[in-house]
Structure 1
Amino acid sequence: MALSVYLDGKWVSSREEALVPVFDHGLLYGDGIFEGIRAYNGLVFRLEDHIDRLYNSAKGISLEIPVSKKEMIDLVLESARRTGLDDCYIRLLVTRGVGDLGIDPRKCAKPSIYIIATGIALYPEDRYEKGLDVVVVSTRRVRPDMLNPMFKSLNYLNNILGKIEANRMGADEGIMLNAEGYVTECTADNIFAVKNGELYTPPVYHGILEGITRKVIMEIAREHDIPVHEQGMVVQSFLSADEVFLTGSGAELIPVVTIDGKPVNDGKPGQVFKQLREWFKERTKYDGIPFK
C-alpha cells in the first residue's frame, strides 16, 4: 500500500514507523483538530477550503498552529506527492502537542502536525449503485453550546457511539438527531433529501459540521438551477423524500435507499443523485491544487 506520513518534521513510509508520543494530548484527550482531504488526478481537491477550516477550528479551541497556511499547503502537497499515487486520501491532524498527564494545555510546549496520505475506499463500488441502508440512532448529537461541531476536533466519541449503534443494527450508517429531535447528520457524513427536484439539508445551527463536500454539492446544484434549502428537518422529512444521499470527503456522494428498514421512494438511487455525482466527478478534474 502506498503510504506517506509526516510526523512533526519527519517523513516515514511505513505503518511501523508512523508512531506518535504517548504524552501527546491528541492521544491522551482528543485535544486537537483534523481534516480529511481528497486528491484526484494529481490535484488536491478544495485544499484551500480545508486549510481555512483547519485554521478556523484551531482558533476555536485556542490552538496556535506553528506554520503558516502556505507552509501547511506545501506539506499537504508533498504528502500526496510522496505516495506516488494520482488519487489518494489525506488525513491532516494538528494536536495540542506533547504535555503531561494533566489536561492543562499550558503544559504542551508546541502543537504537533501529523499528515497521513494513502489510498481509501470507504464503501465498495456496488454500494454507490445499490445504495446504503441507514438507521436512526438513539445517541444524540452533542449540543453546539457544549462542543461546537464547526470545530473539526479529534474528539469523535459522540460519532463513534452512534456508529456502534448502527453497526449493532446491521446498518451501513446512522442518522443522528439533536436534543430537539431534528436531524443533524450521519455519524461521518452530511445528509441531503431531494423533493420535487429540489435539495434539502439540515442547517449549520442545528449542530452539524459544515462539510466541504456538502458545500461543493450545494454550489454545483445552484449552478445547474437546482434550488437548495437549508432548513430544520425531522426523520419524516427523509422518509417522505424522493431521494436521500450522503456527502463527505471520504464517501463523496452515496445514496441512501432505506431508513429504519423503510424504503426511500422506490428503494433505488435517484436520478438527481446520479446527476450530481457525475457533475461532482467532473469538478474534481480541475478544482484543486496540483501536486505532481
Structure 2
Amino acid sequence: MSAEPIVYLNGEYLAASQASVSLADWGLHGVAVTEMTRTFGQRCFRLDDHLDRLNASADQLGIAVDLLRDDWHKITKTVVNHHAALVGETGELMVNHVISAGLNSMNTAPNHSGPTIYVRTFPLQFSRWAAKYQNGQHLVVPEMRQIPTECLNPRIKSRNRLHWYLADRQAREIDTDASALLLDLQGHLTETSAGNFFIVRENTILTPRHEATLGGISRMVVRDIAQFLGVSYEEQNITLPEALSADEVFTSSTGYCVLPVTKIDGQPIGDGQPGAVYQRILETWNMMAGLDIAAQAVEQSVVESQ
C-alpha cells in the first residue's frame, strides 16, 4: 500500500505525487466539471446526489462519460479507503471528482482520446470554520456580480472559478475574515463562492431562486430538514436590505454543512448571534451524520494545530 494518497486518473490508480495531466488538457482552460463530497465517519455523504450533478454538468458541456454508477462507486471507495487508512480513525476527507473535455484536438497525444477523469481526496481543513459554528461568519457584497444565466448556466458546477476568486479578493479587502456574497445584475442576492444562501423571516426559510444559483446538495439537505422540522421553506428573490433586516442568515456547503452569518457588510444580523432555526438545522444534520459536526470541527482543528 502506498504511504501517500492515491488518485484515480483515466483508468489507473496512481500515487498522488505521480499523477499528472497534459498541458494540452482542456481542464487547464476551465473546460471541466467538478464535485466535492465530504465524509462522515470516513463514509461519503450524499455521494449519489453529487454524482448525479456531476454527470448532469458533463452532459451540459457535451462530454460523454462511459463510467456507470457502479464504476463511480468502486473508484470512489478505493480512493477514499486508501486515504482513510492514512489519516487515522478521526480524520475526515473531501472527495474531488473531476471530468474535463480531455485534450485540445489541436495538440492531442496519440495514446489518449476522450475526457480526462480523475478522483482525488484530501483531508478536511476543520480550522477554516471551527470557530464559526458559534461565532458566525462574515459576508461582504463586493462589486463583482454573478455571471448572468444567459451567459453561463449556474447549474453547471465547473472548474472555472475566476469571478469567485476576484469576488473573494474584493470582499477580503474590506473584511479580512469575510467571504463574498454576490448580487445578480438585477440586484438580487445569489450565493457565496462556496455555498448557498438563506435568510429566516418569521420562522420561514427563504433562499434565492434555483434558476439563478447552483443546485447545492447541502441546500437539498436544508430543504429536507426544514420539511422534517415543519419549518416553511420558500424560494424567492432576496435583496440586500431584506437580508440585513432578517431574523437570521446562514449558508450551506458540503465541507462545513451549515454555518450562521452574523454580519453582512459589517452590519450585525439580528442580535449578532447564531439563531434558533440554524441551531435546529445543525442538530438535525448531526443526527443524519451520526456525529456532532461542530464539536468534531473544533476537536480536529486542535489536532491540525499540533
One fold, TM greater than 0.5?
yes
Whether the aligned pair in 1 keeps the contact of 2:129 and 2:256 (CA below 8 Å) is no
The equivalent residue for 1:113 is: 117
CA distance in 2: counterparts of 1:78 and 1:229, whole angstroms: 39
User: Which 4+ runs in 1 deviate beyond 6 A?
Assistant: none
Does residue 1:163 correspond to 2:148, yes or no? no
Q: 1:133: how far off?
A: 1.3
Does residue 1:20 correspond to 2:21, yes or no? yes
The alpha-carbon distance between structure 1 residues 5 and 195, as it changes in their structure 2 partners (threshold 3 A), is same
The equivalent residue for 1:217 is: 222
Whether the aligned pair in 2 keeps the contact of 1:159 and 1:188 (CA below 8 Å) is no
**Which segments of 5 or more consecutive residues in structure 1 lack a partner in the other structure?**
287-292
The equivalent residue for 2:5 is: 3
Query: Which residue identity is paired with 2:162?
Result: L
The equivalent residue for 1:176 is: 182
Q: 1:112: how far off?
A: 1.0
**Which segments of 5 or more consecutive residues in structure 2 lack a partner in the other structure?**
292-306
Q: 1:149: how far off?
A: 0.9
CA distance in 2: counterparts of 1:220 and 1:2, whole angstroms: 37
Matches within 5 A, 1:237-248: 237-248=242-253
Whether the aligned pair in 2 keeps the contact of 1:135 and 1:171 (CA below 8 Å) is no
CA distance in 1: counterparts of 2:56 and 2:161, whole angstroms: 18
Does residue 1:99 correspond to 2:104, yes or no? yes
CA distance in 2: counterparts of 1:140 and 1:35, whole angstroms: 23
The equivalent residue for 2:280 is: 275
The equivalent residue for 1:33 is: 33
Whether the aligned pair in 2 keeps the contact of 1:5 and 1:114 (CA below 8 Å) is yes
Query: Which residue identity is paired with 2:21?
Result: V
- Pairing partner for 2:203 from 193, 197, 209: 197
Q: 1:66: how far off?
A: 2.8
The equivalent residue for 2:50 is: 50
Does residue 1:59 correspond to 2:59, yes or no? yes
Whether the aligned pair in 1 keeps the contact of 2:7 and 2:121 (CA below 8 Å) is yes
Say which structure, 1 or 2, has more relative contact order (CA 8 Å, 6+ apart). Answer: 1
Q: 1:234: how far off?
A: 0.5
Q: 1:274: how far off?
A: 1.4
Does residue 1:236 correspond to 2:241, yes or no? yes
Secondary structure in 2 aligned to 1:280?
A: helix
CA distance in 2: counterparts of 1:227 and 1:13, whole angstroms: 48
CA distance in 2: counterparts of 1:229 and 1:9, whole angstroms: 43
Whether the aligned pair in 2 keeps the contact of 1:33 and 1:54 (CA below 8 Å) is yes
CA distance in 1: counterparts of 2:231 and 2:22, whole angstroms: 49
Q: 1:2: how far off?
A: 6.4
Secondary structure in 1 aligned to 2:117?
A: strand
Higher helix share: 2
Secondary structure in 2 aligned to 1:92?
A: strand
Aligned residues: 279
CA distance in 2: counterparts of 1:57 and 1:285, whole angstroms: 30
Whether the aligned pair in 2 keeps the contact of 1:195 and 1:242 (CA below 8 Å) is yes
CA distance in 2: counterparts of 1:129 and 1:11, whole angstroms: 40
The equivalent residue for 1:79 is: 79
Query: Which residue identity is paired with 1:195?
Result: R
The equivalent residue for 2:302 is: none
CA distance in 1: counterparts of 2:101 and 2:135, whole angstroms: 42
Does residue 1:131 correspond to 2:136, yes or no? yes
Q: What TM-score comes out, normalization by structure 1 length?
A: 0.90
Secondary structure in 1 aligned to 2:251?
A: strand
Q: 1:38: how far off?
A: 1.0
CA distance in 2: counterparts of 1:66 and 1:162, whole angstroms: 36
Secondary structure in 2 aligned to 1:184?
A: strand
Q: What TM-score comes out, normalization by structure 2 length?
A: 0.86
Q: CA RMSD in A?
A: 2.0
Secondary structure in 2 aligned to 1:113?
A: strand
